[in-house]
Chain A
Amino acid sequence: MSTTVLDEKRGTKTILSGDQALAEAAKMANIDVVSAYPITPQTIIVETLEHMIANGELKAKFIPVESEHSAMSAAVGASAAGARVFTSTASQGLALMHEVVYIASSLRLPIVMAVANRALSAPINIWNDLSDAMAERESGWIQFFVETVQEAFDTTVEAFKIAEDPRISLPVMVGLDGYILSHEYEPIELPFQDQVDKYLPRRQPTVKLDPAKPVSMGTLGPPELYFEIKYRQERAIDTALPIIQELDDDFAQHFGRRYGLIEKYKLEDADYVLVTMGSVSGTAKEEADRLREQGMRVGVLKVRLFRPFPKQLVVDALAGAKGIGILDRSMPMGSSAPSLAQDVMASLMQARQYPTSIVSFVSGIGGRDMKLTDFEQMFQEIKTAVDGNIAYRISYPALRG
């Protein structure tokens, strides 16, 4: 791969796929342990890391576990012993991990996990949607969804900083859209190693499994204590929000790229706003530009940090909108509304901020392409709902038949 040196802050420029960028980020973060199991479309991340270890680029232990359940279990053990730990998975793998995903956050163990978001079976489907990560939305993990390969790299490096901050001490999931990002090649700026080392020094755990100072982790929590323990855990993820903001600013200081917890795209005067997460945000923004040329005042709100949900930022960003569309890429399956829509609507209601219309969009399921025309349709539907004074409706763009 060809590499161009830019400047001191921006490092070098090269071309990587999303999966490769993730592996590069874990390597530059100087991870100690990686435990992972192959599953499409994240496999390239782990095989790249194993290769980096084999050829001496990265000094770390690779645990070739026999399942994703064991991948997360070993990650818990390694993090409890004080190591910097990375793993990655997708779809069925994350579903199989589910039990231990909750334990990792409950034990307050910093672990960074990349999830190359993919649909859940059945029918088996190896393509993108967010149903795997959405099933973990109340697991107590910090959850990011990224839009570009650069953002995937940057967010992963940042994720270690967030996870290991002693004020937070929680695991972080970085969601990148399966295939759409995991297998797509994009130009990317890679910082120099000493920049990352300076930003992210060696992990300093406050508590770890150490014979010199014995602790018991994962004990039995009886009814007279369990509730308080879980309450404190919930406070931990809630109060992490301003710290994540602070650390995001810190990242920008070090590397010159700022993402924010949300991204407001042409929202200042927007009547119709589409709320998105992940790689589709790019397409949404492009369509917004096109519609604005035609005189329609539209904008896009990208939610980058999904857990903890940045309620106030979202509410403020949507303040002027008459109609709000919320794009979910997982099936609501009997819920009152799809996942992201629930969060956005609850946040608005808590702030007594009621737009004329809210439209829930469910699309991009199981790898269904999301085209510019789909986004055009969505913005039009939001406008139609406002014109018709419809409080709420759900729509399935690109659904056939």
Chain B
Amino acid sequence: MTELYKTIKDIPTTEGILAPGHALCAGCGAGTILNIVGRVAGKNVIVVSATGCVEVTTTYLPYSAWRVPWIHNAFENSAATASGVRAAIDIMKEKYGYSEDPRILVVAGDGGTADIGLQSLSGMLERGDRVTYLLYDNEAYMNTGIQRSGSTPYGAWTTTSWEGKPEMKKDMMGIVTAHHIPYAATGSPAYILDLANKVKKALDAEGPSFLHVLSDCNLGWRHDSKISVEVTRLAVQTGLWPLYEVDHGVTKLTVPVPKRKPVEEYLKVQGRFKGLTPDRIKVIQAYADQLAQRFGLGPVG
């Protein structure tokens, strides 16, 4: 049984897995997320990155910001790469008495996970490989300049959805949990204790684990970088990003929202939702209501 952090002060303050000096944008959600993940994971971890913002901003040769062993293979294959690392570590322990038991952590964005990397992820989950997969979801192809992905929400502007995306956001948690893995959870950098405990549980899982963390991109979401954390908090408070976990098949809301804020409060602070018609806002509110009912959030009020 994983021993959980009771307060934010229990989270280790040791240096993280990412050194200062990386080139992530000011206010980037991924930096905050990796800071928390790194403190929980410690140094006995091997990181596999998919192509994306985190990869290009942390390893611009001749520099690397990674304090732990790190490999980037390609865009769509980080899960399969991690399977290979896992297999190698396991068999070397078995055959040659290799004494380390590092955790294997994938760090990938929504494009590399929900779109181009979906097959590779599915294979890894189905095989039951003991890998923790962290999806930092900034809801578009931000590294290439804000193009829509399967994870872009309904109504959001991107450079390939000028009128606001007409389709719904892909339910990655639904897809992932359909693989019957031991642990999956959503997270938010605005709820540090909740996220830290989920990272801990995920890393301790006996098989594959999945962390779906909403990762604010002020450049693509079109807002001031100062309110990045506030924006991801609003996503939770409006019910658009329920914080829950699926632990061995049991779904549990981890951050209750007794009174939800109307979705407008989340939408109006972001330029990507500018100009949404009342009808489209209704669609988004209905989606939040649906999520609220499914995960046990309170009413709007």
Is A202 an interface position by the 8 A CB rule? yes
Which residues of chain B come closer than 8 Å to A154, judged between CB atoms? none
**In the complex, per-residue mask of A179-207: 1 if CB is within 8 Å of any chain B CB, else 0:** 00000000000000000000000100000
Is B92 an interface position by the 8 A CB rule? yes
Binds A, one of B70-78, B144-152, B261-269: B70-78
Which residues of chain A come closer than 8 Å to B62, judged between CB atoms? 225
Binds B, one of A75-83, A248-256, A376-384: A75-83
A209 to chain B, nearest CB (A): 4
**Given known A70-B123, A218-B71, A222-B60, contact A60–B84 (CB-CB < 8 A):** no
- For chain A residues 41-77, which have a beta carbon within 8 Å of chain B? 59-61, 63-67, 69-71, 73-77
Which residues of chain B come closer than 8 Å to A75, judged between CB atoms? 84
Which residues of chain B come closer than 8 Å to A83, judged between CB atoms? 87-88, 91-92
Interchain CA distance A25-B84 in the complex, whole Å: 21
Is B135 an interface position by the 8 A CB rule? no
Is A295 an interface position by the 8 A CB rule? no
Nearest chain B residue, comparing its CB with the CB of A76: B73
A226 to chain B, nearest CB (A): 8
Q: A218 to B72, Cβ gap below 8 A?
A: yes
Q: A69 to B76, Cβ gap below 8 A?
A: yes
B172 to chain A, nearest CB (A): 17
Is A286 an interface position by the 8 A CB rule? no
Which residues of chain B come closer than 8 Å to A314, judged between CB atoms? none
Q: Interface size (B, Cβ < 8 Å)? A: 50
Is A8 an interface position by the 8 A CB rule? no
Is B48 an interface position by the 8 A CB rule? yes
Q: B89 to A81, Cβ gap below 8 A?
A: yes
B22 to chain A, nearest CB (A): 12
Q: A59 to B69, Cβ gap below 8 A?
A: no
Q: B61 to A202, Cβ gap below 8 A?
A: no
Is B203 an interface position by the 8 A CB rule? no
Interchain CA distance A59-B79 in the complex, whole Å: 24
Q: B88 to A103, Cβ gap below 8 A?
A: no
Name which of A99, A103, A209, A215 has the most chain B CB atoms within 10 A of its CB: A209
Interchain CA distance A63-B122 in the complex, whole Å: 14
A140 to chain B, nearest CB (A): 15
Q: A65 to B83, Cβ gap below 8 A?
A: yes
Which residues of chain A come closer than 8 Å to B68, judged between CB atoms? 211, 214
Interchain CA distance A92-B64 in the complex, whole Å: 36
Is A399 an interface position by the 8 A CB rule? no
Q: B95 to A32, Cβ gap below 8 A?
A: yes
Q: A219 to B72, Cβ gap below 8 A?
A: yes
Interchain CA distance A65-B125 in the complex, whole Å: 11
Nearest chain B residue, comparing its CB with the CB of A215: B69
Nearest chain B residue, comparing its CB with the CB of A208: B69
Interchain CA distance A83-B56 in the complex, whole Å: 27
Interchain CA distance A211-B46 in the complex, whole Å: 7
Interchain CA distance A387-B137 in the complex, whole Å: 70
Q: A216 to B64, Cβ gap below 8 A?
A: yes
Which residues of chain B come closer than 8 Å to A70, judged between CB atoms? 77, 79-80, 83, 119-120, 123
Q: Tell me which of B48, B82, B86, B95 contacts A59 (CB under 8 A).
A: B95
Is B43 an interface position by the 8 A CB rule? yes
Nearest chain A residue, comparing its CB with the CB of B71: A217
Is A293 an interface position by the 8 A CB rule? no
Nearest chain B residue, comparing its CB with the CB of A67: B119
Q: Tell me which of A33, A35, A81, A103 contacts B46 (CB under 8 A).
A: A81
Q: B77 to A216, Cβ gap below 8 A?
A: no
Is B204 an interface position by the 8 A CB rule? no
Which residues of chain B come closer than 8 Å to A82, judged between CB atoms? 88, 92
**In the complex, per-residue mask of A87-103: 1 if CB is within 8 Å of any chain B CB, else 0:** 00000000000011001
Is B59 an interface position by the 8 A CB rule? yes
Q: B88 to A65, Cβ gap below 8 A?
A: no
Which residues of chain B come closer than 8 Å to A202, judged between CB atoms? 96
**A–B Cβ pairs within 8 angstroms, 7 of them:** A66-B123, A67-B120, A73-B77, A74-B81, A74-B84, A210-B69, A220-B61
A211-B44, A211-B102 given; 19 more Cβ-contact pairs under 8 Å: A35-B80, A61-B87, A63-B84, A65-B123, A69-B77, A70-B119, A70-B120, A81-B84, A81-B92, A83-B87, A103-B74, A209-B85, A211-B100, A213-B69, A214-B66, A214-B68, A215-B70, A218-B71, A220-B60
Question: Which 3 pairs show the lowest CB-CB distances between chains A and B?
Answer: A77-B84, A66-B123, A74-B84
Chain B residues in the interface with A (C-beta under 8 A): 43-46, 48-49, 55-56, 59-62, 64, 66-74, 76-77, 79-92, 94-96, 100, 102, 119-120, 122-123, 126-127, 129
